[in-house]
Amino acid sequence: MSGIALSRLAQERKAWRKDHPFGFVAVPTKNPDGTMNLMNWECAIPGKKGTPWEGGLFKLRMLFKDDYPSSPPKCKFEPPLFHPNVYPSGTVCLSILEEDKDWRPAITIKQVFLALQL
């Protein structure tokens, strides 16, 4: 695993624990040996007020590649849900999550979540 990716994800986790939007959840998974896996996060995003998703809490998995933050995380709703920016597989279709479009290494996990909020 890339030291750059792990270092950045550790910083992101620390920042998230200090300050994150109300109702949002982002927790790295655990490896079989009990250690934290910063490359795989289980998340939940609340539905935005005034939308059909208001009141819901939508589970999402964020997977990071070894070249993060040069490449964006893969975000997938589990289970898949109906939304114009979500493929039937649950994978999110958003320009800031596409390396050849609007992804920038300076984009934080918090910014991704706010863009994903339904």
Instruction: Render each residue's pLDDT in the chain as its tens digit; 118 residues.
Output: 579 999 999 999 999 999 999 999 999 999 999 999 999 999 999 999 999 999 999 999 999 999 999 999 999 999 998 888 899 999 999 999 999 999 999 999 999 999 988 6
From 1, 10, 15, 93, active-site residue: 93
Residue 100 lies in domain: 3-116
Under a CB-based contact definition with an 8 Å cutoff, are residues 43 and 26 in contact?
yes
Residue 118: predicted pLDDT: 66
CATH number at residue 67: 3.10.110.10
Residue 117: predicted pLDDT: 86
Question: What is each CA distance from 65 to 6, 18, 22, 60, in whole angstroms?
Answer: 10, 24, 27, 16
3-state secondary structure (DSSP) of residue 46: strand
Number of structural domains the chain divides into: 1
pTM of the model: 0.91
Q: Which tens digits make up the pLDDT trace of 58-84? A: 999 999 999 999 999 999 999 998 888
Is position 93 annotated as part of the catalytic site?
Answer: yes
